[in-house]
Chains A and B, each alone.
Chain A
Amino acid sequence: MLALSLALGACGEKAQTAPSARKPDSKAWDAAQNPFVVPGWKSGDKASWESQMRNRAAGQNEYSNAMPRQ
């Protein structure tokens, strides 16, 4: 009985890991508070920001920029 109670005693032990003091971050689609935000998307609208990101990334493809489509 004593051994059982000792063995089960550890089950009630609480986690001793301290919670991180890290601050929560705002979402990337919440537009920056400065005048450098490019037009073409709406602040707070995730879908519109994602579309902007895809269009911007596609601009790195000079095959589509410089060469005529076959």
Chain B
Amino acid sequence: MARMKFICDSERCIECNGCVTACKAEHDIPWGVNRRRVVTLNDGVPGERSISVACMHCSDAPCMAVCPVDCFYRTDEGVVLHDKDVCIGCGYCSYACPFGAPQFPGTGTFGMRGKMDKCTFCAGGPETNGSQAEFEKYGRNRLSEGKLPACAEMCSTKALLGGDGDVVADIFRTRVLSRGKGSEVWGWGTAYGKPTTGTPKPEEKATKS
């Protein structure tokens, strides 16, 4: 099985924030915590570009490397998850993450930082799949319901693609070849590594076309 991946097509994202809303509603995320957000560059300038950003479930995740209590783990599908019962809320992962994915609820006493919260690729956590305990800590576990992340499935323009890496890469490649541009996926190289030898990656094919 290929790894689960997100790809956001900046040529299609219209900054509607539907992915953000879907995520917050699906997982009952509290105020002040945004597992996903839309970032716009050159806002208001012709040619502005938006992209939906959350945890990219990196191949070599820096959050895992810096965590002093080793609360992170990677599933067989390549999803980076963490155990909130082990997390101490130190915030090291927040400094290490290039995407600003780790979030900290500020609802504790005296504004104390709580346990880290981040995108789970709708895969829950170490609690029993679909249990109430899992929902309260991590939100819905859509993967174990046979579904894909709510943000990607709710995206109205299908700018945000999520799922099996081979499948979403094929979809994206078809688009790029059809329209002849827009192969730059922000953060892709950072999260998933540079293209290796072998099958040409979508951006390489697109450049040649």
Contacts and interface: CB of A to CB of B under 8 A. Distances in A.
A3 interface: no
Interface in B128-168: 128-131, 141, 143-148, 152-153, 158, 161-164, 167-168
Given A20-B69, A38-B146, A28 B128 contact: no
Interface of B: 1, 69-71, 73, 75-77, 79, 81, 83, 85-86, 123, 125-131, 141, 143-148, 152-153, 158, 161-164, 167-168, 170-171, 174-175, 178
Interface of A: 20-34, 36-41, 46, 49-50, 52-54, 56-58, 60-63
Of A32, A33, A54, chain B has the most CB atoms within 10 Å of the CB of A32
5 contacts: A22-B73, A22-B86, A25-B126, A52-B146, A60-B162
A49 B75 CA distance: 15
B145 A31 contact: yes
B85 A23 contact: yes
Nearest to A17: B70
A46 B70 CA distance: 27
Contacts of B71: 20, 22
Contacts of B178: 63
Contacts of A30: 129, 144
B162 A63 contact: no
A40 B147 CA distance: 11
B2 to A, nearest CB: 9
A25 B81 contact: yes
A36 B81 CA distance: 22
A24 B76 CA distance: 12
A20 B71 CA distance: 7
B86 A60 contact: no
B126 A22 contact: yes
Nearest to B141: A32
B128 A33 contact: yes
Nearest to B135: A34
